[in-house]
Chains A and B, each alone.
Chain A
Amino acid sequence: MMSSFLFRAMDARAGIFLAILGAAIILVPAGNLLVPESSSFHVPTYAVTLMGKYLTYALLALAVDLVWGYCGILSLGHAAFFALGGYAMGMYLMRQIGTRGVYGDPVLPDFMVFLNWQDLPWYWYGFDMFWFAALMILLVPGALAFVFGWFAFRSRVTGVYLSIITQALTYALLLAFFRNDMGFGGNNGLTDFKDILGFDIQAGTTRAGLFAASGLALAICFLICRAVTRSKLGKVLVAVRDAESRTRFLGYRVEHYKLFVWTLSAMMAGIAGALYVPQVGIINPGEFAPANSIEVVIWVAVGGRATLVGAVLGAVLVNFAKTWFTAALPDIWLFALGGLFVLVTLFLPKGIVGTVSAGWAALKARKISAAYEAGSDVPPASTPQSPAAPANLVEPTPSSNTPGPTAPQPAE
């Protein structure tokens, strides 16, 4: 009875989240395009772009939450998948510039002309077609994650070791993409985009469209994540998170589960990156920086690990704070971010959503228990039932809300 109630509550939570997201997808572009600029309800274009950027960050946080919250894989390299998706989109956008570049070369992007390249490198072929670029946005991060995960999970690299080598992965990619010979624009990256799918990338309508697309992608990925985490597969993932060896001893192929969710998460991060690039108008190797990946983790931690809504909420909140701080008090931002890391891990291990829902559940439990005690005074026949009563009233913490790491220290 208790569990079905909880499932209903979670459904309600997801419903509320999707409703808010849906409202944002409709209202923000409408406020930008339909409401006249003089009105106080008008949403300026820069705000649409900014919120669109937040939504792509939220999608990235969702991807990290899926692996960290539900499977215990702390990835410090998800920015790599994000940036790879972004580069795939950037390559498509570069090919769309055509002859409008500074050097006016119909095929080669400006930086290749500048470097005296004669031909397009083979890995740039096909990126003039959107369908191909879209495919690569999914496949490139997915393939990298698959190969990396295949090796890592099969040889049972876990915990902090995995975190450190994911960090090394993104660091290696950072160094690689800084090189001019790689053919991705080196230090400057890809920028100066003109249009996407034939629409002018600077136009307000395109911006609004990209915002809506980001929101839609977030909604779809949210539903996918929920479907995954609430299926039997999701239960096994939680089991892997909480007791990996035990799960293996029970006969589950732990590495297969991990590999699946890891690759799925990387693809989502790739989509997020692809939507991010046209909105900010640039992709450069700085996106690979290990610090970025760690920042994503704190978004998730703030919102609530293993609560999908929390990841989205955390990403939006922290980034809103970042935008505000870096404009108003630029010196304070790193203090605030650093403090957030420390305080959230110390005092808010479940994050905002986790703490609130745990508190709410506790409140409900107290009410029921109070009601029960009020009722139990009257009938004397209740005595035989009383041993069973507390069992019903056990603190209703759903498995997905306990980030309880039971792993002992690796030093032992």
Chain B
Amino acid sequence: MSFLKSLLVYLCLLSALAAPVAAQSDPDTLRQLVNELAKGKYAETEQQIEALVATGDPIVAPALEALGAGSLYFRKSDGAVFISQKSGKSFALTDPLTLEAAGEAGKREVKKIKVNNKLRRVVRAALGSLTLMAPAPEVRKAAATAMFKARKPDSIEALDAAIAVETDDSVRLIMEQARAAAVLSSSSSEADKLDAINTLAAMGDREALSLLIGVQHASEGAVRDAANRAVAKIEKSLAAWDTAQNVWYGLSLGSVLLLAAIGLAITFGVMGVINMAHGEMVMIGAYTTFVVQELIRTSAPGLFEYSLFIALPLAFLAAGLIGIGIERGVIRWLYGRPLETLLATWGISLILQQAVRSIFGPTNREVGNPDWMSGAFDLGQMTITYNRMWIIVFALLVFAGLMLVLKKTPFGLYTRAVTQNRRMAASMGIRTPWIDALTFGLGSGIAGIAGVALSQIDNVSPNLGQGYIIDSFMVVVFGGVGNLWGTLVGAMTLGIVNKFLEPYAGAVLGKIFVLVFIILFIQKRPRGLFALKGRAVEA
């Protein structure tokens, strides 16, 4: 198994070498050199290995690896050398250079190339120098990383040789770390080990930590003390990184909550309308994305990378128009009766869900991620996925855009006027019914574009909206009705609190705690975190 694994590693290395390498030699010469391995005694084999290494071509590495592992055979009939794997009664042959399958051979047709311990050491050193000195920095890096993981004491020499000639700083760092790991598992002097511990302590990640914990248990005296100190230091920095990672996850969850809740903050907060069909607006946005992507797939595959940008305005329009339709058709007859509004919009949400279920089917629909949304990068000890990062950015952009609309445009001015004093606004000539309809459309449209973003991280199914509706209400109520800043702070706080509770309480219990916390919080501040100040009192 380990042999296969290392084969894979080399395959990766080879693919990393897609660009022609300076040291690449003539394939025929190489094959001849490899076939030479079948001949002669141990001493000659050693020279043959050195000849192979002298070519400096990493393509011979698999053959050498196989030689060390005892799976290099030669065919008696023509003396050709193969990597062989026993399968049943015969051997499956693999070409040692191209790594392509080369048929099978019977038990008696092939013979193992024998190696002794000395040769094995020679092979290992040869392999190390082959890859550690390979011309491409990625190959050297991968080799050093592999050696770090293997931590074999006998790789020290190869690493020393490689470090001496290494020019790339980042690769040299990895090599030094690999050397430190090897030193710690060898029987080197105490001073060397202390140096190695310092190197690893500077590294500061989880692998170094587990390695140092191993050292802690296996050694004594000064080495042990140094390991203890290093472990404590790494644990401290890792704890800080963990916190950072949790904050990041929390922000990510918070931005999802923000996206889902911000439309609700307008309809509920600004207009006082309980829209239970809000989640379905999110769902409509997600399904719009799905339809756009389907159309692109069938008619213009080249546009796929831009599908989300195309879906955004369409989702806004689709959800916004449906929202205006709901407002004009149902909600405007129910103003002043919030509980009835709640029931009627719940009915609308059932109808929309069933409509989507009838049209698109009850199963999940697949919405693809464009390339720029997939993948991840490392920041220190944190992993940051692109889709989460873009969703945070997008949520903040939507928030900023909405703030601009509400604060800087005439429409926003009218909306705020109607919110603050409906009758006075009407007296000033603002057409309050139109403002109501447009505001509701705006809130629904925002939910629609939230759906585009959420389609990237969630299952697109008819139940998509249901999962967000309670959370959205919690965010709006927690943040304070009628205040977008409250929604922002509420969403981020709930997101982060949720993620910090999760490691201690588990995801479900964490969520229950948050719900209970909000229930208790509302008792304390019935109007939310950022309550609108005013003299209004209910009947």
Contacts and interface: CB of A to CB of B under 8 A. Distances in A.
Interface of A: 68, 74, 148, 151-152, 154-161, 163-165, 167-169, 171-172, 175-176, 178-179, 243-246, 290-291, 294, 297-298, 301, 331, 334-335, 337-342, 344-346, 349, 405-412
A61 to B, nearest CB: 14
Given A163-B342, A179-B509, A297-B343, A246 B422 contact: no
Contacts of A172: 511-512, 515-516, 519
B330 A342 contact: yes
Contacts of A294: 276, 343, 346
Given A331-B354, A410-B481, A412-B536, A160 B470 contact: no
A164 B276 CA distance: 11
B484 to A, nearest CB: 14
Main secondary structure of the interface of B (DSSP, over half): helix
Contacts of A345: 334, 340-341, 343-344, 347
A159 B333 contact: no
Most chain-B Cβ atoms within 10 A of its Cβ — which of A331, A338, A344?
A: A338
Nearest to B538: A407
Interface string B348-365: 111111110110000000
A164 B466 CA distance: 14
B353 A334 contact: yes
Most chain-B Cβ atoms within 10 A of its Cβ — which of A151, A157, A168, A178?
A: A168
Most chain-A Cβ atoms within 10 A of its Cβ — which of B272, B342, B344, B526?
A: B342
A155 B523 contact: yes
26 contacts: A148-B519, A152-B523, A157-B523, A161-B522, A163-B342, A165-B518, A168-B519, A176-B512, A178-B508, A243-B539, A245-B538, A246-B539, A291-B466, A294-B276, A331-B358, A337-B350, A338-B346, A338-B347, A341-B347, A345-B344, A346-B333, A346-B344, A349-B340, A408-B539, A410-B538, A411-B271
Contacts of B343: 294, 297-298, 301, 341, 344-345
B481 A338 contact: no
Main secondary structure of the interface of A (DSSP, over half): helix
B286 to A, nearest CB: 19
B274 interface: yes
B335 A405 contact: no
A406 B539 CA distance: 7
B419 A411 contact: yes
A164 B477 contact: yes
Nearest to B521: A165
B526 A171 contact: no
Closest 9 CB pairs of A and B: A341-B347, A411-B272, A338-B350, A338-B351, A334-B354, A172-B515, A338-B347, A155-B523, A345-B344
A179 B342 contact: no
Contacts of B355: 335
Most chain-A Cβ atoms within 10 A of its Cβ — which of B337, B482, B518?
A: B337
B511 A175 contact: yes
Given A298-B343, A334-B351, A171 B515 contact: yes
